[in-house]
Amino acid sequence: MTLFVRLADWQADQSTIRKIRQKVFVEEQHVPPELEWDEQEDSAQHFLIYQKDKAVGTGRLTATGKIGRMAILKDTRGLGAGLELLKRICKFARIEGQKYVYLNAQVQAVPFYEKAGFVVAGEEFIEADIPHVRMELSLSDYQPDEKVDDWNR
């Protein structure tokens, strides 16, 4: 499967990003729309992952190093798109000088983030009526595999 991750711009790519997040978070996971869209949309660096020429996922990175709004369309899950997107976001953060990144993982997704090197760094809490836990990754020793090393900026 051919996957391609690119930097996205909230203004230019808002429609594509919104469609993916609407489908995954609002429709599938029943996150209230007022919690899904926030004041960080304009300032965050957004990413889109494509399978061939179709956008199948999105994520974002804030200036504080928080990875969030990671969403992969249901029919693409389990094919490596989520891990590829996450690695690309971490690679970008490292290039930009971040020392570490963190995220609020849904508890059911903890094993996925652990595969990428993240570690649990806190107690379970509820966000949008879904159990979450904070996870962190130090980027000082982060060595993405060759597949990620060809990041084009």
- Structural domain count of the chain: 1
Percentage above 70 pLDDT, the chain: 91
For residue 52 the two structure tokens come to: 């061939």
Q: Across all residues in the chain, what is the average pLDDT? A: 89
Share of the chain above pLDDT 90, in %: 71
Please, which pLDDT band fits residue 136 given cuts at 50, 70 and 90?
Answer: very high
C-alpha–C-alpha distance, residues 110 and 118, integer Å: 9
What's the number of CA atoms in the CB half-sphere (13 Å) around residue 126? 2
Overall average pLDDT of the 66-80 stretch: 93
Kindly report the CATH number assigned to the domain that includes residue 69.
3.40.630.30
Asked if residues 5 and 49 have their Cβ atoms less than 8 Å apart, the reply is yes
The pair of three-digit structure tokens given for residue 126, joined into one six-digit string? 């509820």
Check if the beta carbon of residue 105 is closer than 8 Å to that of residue 86: no
Domain coverage including residue 97: 3-149
If you average pLDDT over residues 96-103, what whole number do you get?
94
